[in-house]
Structure 1
Amino acid sequence: MKAILFDVPGSPEVLRYGDAPEPVPGPDELLVQVRATAVNRADLLQRRGAYAPPPGASPILGLELAGEVLTPVGEWRAGDRIMAVVTGGGYAERAVVPVGMAMRIPDTLSFEEAAALPEAFLTAFLNLFTLGKLQAGETVLIHAGASGVGTAAIQLARVAGARVFTTAGSAEKLALCRELGAELAINYREESFAKRVLEATDGRGVDLILDFVGAPYWQQNTAALALDGRLQLIGFLGGSSGQIDLGPILAKRLHVNGTTLRRTPLPQKIALTADFVAFAHNRLARGELRPVIDTIYPLHEAAEAHRVMEANRNAGKLVLRVERDAETSPQGAQDHAAK
């Protein structure tokens, strides 16, 4: 089968389109004909040699996919359209998916749209609700609001009845955040987000923050949190070390938590998937939730998609189409293959 491979860590130029061994499904796994996958920050880190796959995971990049079942297992039949988070192997023509991780694709979604969903929406759901304990009427600040996870988190928090604030780095990205349901969209390049948050909450602060940046945001994050506030650390795009003041944790009784979906134990991920499907499937089918896609590339142009993400030029997901006859691209997405 064809896949995106690399022999040594490095820049996007190390990626190549070549032949890889066929995956062999276990007794509780589906073999899937991949129709589309998507790019995530973890893929960039793995390509650089900074994020090794968990033991037993495919060394091929790709943490999510959409496609058709090839081997029937349990409730799944050959030809069923599914989407899923995987621990690796998405950048390939075929991949294996644990049965409990498979999610049925709503009829209203294309394979490209479905491929843009699993990693972003499950990560957002995990950090907003399972770990972040967000409730209707609370206020959440979502950093990197125009990212894949950010666009998913804004929508999930909105439909759950929360008040949504977000940060982004350009006028276009801020407009996208507002369109998705953010009440307050702050340009972090031009002003203090902590100051804006406190002004918007009459000095109280927010109940929950989803942070992808890390150490550089520590001081503003703790200033922007309300009493008993929760900080969910999802990434360290700005770095993981620096001088920090721990005082607000005690003074405000703050809760700080970190997680990575990829290394979450499989039984917990299966439970998370079931909770997400119960919450989101019908909303996705009705269009109340939607994936935000920046650009669709053919699989063999994965290196270009990596360059775009590294330059932070995308708003929403970068999707890789695995088959040329895949379904029509979603409205509003630029189809790179047609450029």
Structure 2
Amino acid sequence: MKAMVAKKSYFSSILEQREVKMPEIKDYEVLIKVCAVGVNRGDIIDVATSDDGFCPGLECSGIIEAVGRNANCWKVGERVIAISSGDVCAILEGGGYAERVAVPANLLLPLSGDIDLEDAAGLPYASCSIWLALFRTLDPKTIKDKKILIHEGVSGIGALAIQYAKYMGSVVIASTGSSDQFSICQQYGADFCVDHTSEDFVYAVSEKAGYGGVDIVLDYQASNLKRNIQCCRIRGKVVIVDLRGMEHASIELTALQRKHAEIKVVDLRSRNFSYKASVIAELRTHLWPAVLQQKVVPTVGHRFPVTEVEKALNLLQKNDSIGKITLYMNFEETIGHLKTD
């Protein structure tokens, strides 16, 4: 089969198309014919740090082609999305940037026929991160009417987090880098919007949240810790899903102590198979009905053919795209009905 794999040199790493061995599934795995792949920052890290021949890809959508002996909860022909387990993703046969991928059966999520497979590729990784950040931090039974500040509301994970939080009954304040993007966040369901580039950002959040501030802040970098703590109410929580900017992060311990606030960092990529399987199981129970009923929809801003993956990774590094970035498989033939960049 064909795959995009890392080609190492003395000074850099690039991805190139190669012929590779078809994965052989174990008893507890299924074989997926990959339709599309979600692009994540972990892919950039993996390409830069892995050996020659490594195939990246942390999530995918596709059709089940074969089922292992102990994976009979799934059927050939089912539409699914999946996240890669750490050990599978670490070898060539397990990477998502390929025509086929072998995935443990309990890392799959089902899709209804109404959901576009290409767009669905951006759902699994962000959905798992949101579950960890919001709903393992606040009890799903008590999250209704809680006030949540979601940074970068037009990003792939931000837009999805707004929808999930509204589905669970929370009050959502979305932040963006421009007031021009407020209408986008409101389309996703945000109750209020604020501009995080404003000098009066903390005041603006407090005004929208009412007395005391928000119950939880969801952010994607560590450099905003000081302001995020200021936005919290007593016993509020700041959850970070990406440590970008940590070299510029600072904490006022007295402010943290005064508010009895907590700081939590969510990391899915480095966790083991059992942990990821537990997250998938919880996600499927509590949030996935919203996706199957299309109350929560994928937010894809850019689609590229997988053979143009470098363009997708470069766009991701610019950190200014709206929505998720996905890749569709075009090794043999381009999927004609897709709008491409």
Is the shorter-chain TM-score for this pair beyond 0.5, marking a shared fold?
A: yes
Q: How has the CA–CA distance of structure 1 residues 242 and 293 changed in structure 2, closer, same or farther, with 3 Å as cutoff? A: closer
CA contact (8 A) 1:112 1:327 kept: no
Query: Matched residues in 2 for 1:175 and 1:153: separation?
Result: 16
> What's the CA shift for 1:132?
3.9
Q: How has the CA–CA distance of structure 1 residues 40 and 12 changed in structure 2, closer, same or farther, with 3 Å as cutoff? A: farther
Superposed CA offset, 1:80-134 (max 9, x none): 2110111431111111111101111111112112211111112112211023436
Question: 5 Å matches for 1:75-224?
Answer: 75-87=73-85, 88=89, 89-133=95-139, 135-214=143-222, 216-224=223-231
Question: 5 Å matches for 1:1-339?
Answer: 1-8=1-8, 14-49=14-49, 59-72=54-67, 73-87=71-85, 88=89, 89-133=95-139, 135-214=143-222, 216-323=223-330, 324=333, 326=335, 328-329=337-338, 334-336=339-341
Aligned residues: 325
Q: How has the CA–CA distance of structure 1 residues 209 and 10 changed in structure 2, closer, same or farther, with 3 Å as cutoff? A: farther
> What's the CA shift for 1:192?
3.8
> What's the CA shift for 1:306?
0.9
* TM-score after normalising by structure 1: 0.88
Q: What letter matches 1:179 in structure 2?
A: Q
> What's the CA shift for 1:43?
1.3
Unpaired stretches in structure 2, ≥5 consecutive residues: 90-94
Superposed CA offset, 1:162-199 (max 9, x none): 01012222345332212101122222223443221112
In structure 1, the residue corresponding to 2:224 is in which secondary structure? helix
In structure 2, the residue corresponding to 1:70 is in which secondary structure? strand
CA contact (8 A) 1:6 1:16 kept: yes
Superposed CA offset, 1:144-176 (max 9, x none): 222211111100001111010122223453322
Q: How has the CA–CA distance of structure 1 residues 131 and 224 changed in structure 2, closer, same or farther, with 3 Å as cutoff? A: same
Give percent identity, aligned residues only.
26
In structure 1, the residue corresponding to 2:319 is in which secondary structure? coil
Superposed CA offset, 1:8-38 (max 9, x none): 3899972222223322322211111111111
> What's the CA shift for 1:204?
0.7
> What's the CA shift for 1:238?
2.3
CA contact (8 A) 1:9 1:47 kept: no
Q: How has the CA–CA distance of structure 1 residues 192 and 5 changed in structure 2, closer, same or farther, with 3 Å as cutoff? A: farther
Query: Matched residues in 1 for 2:198 and 2:307: separation?
Result: 38
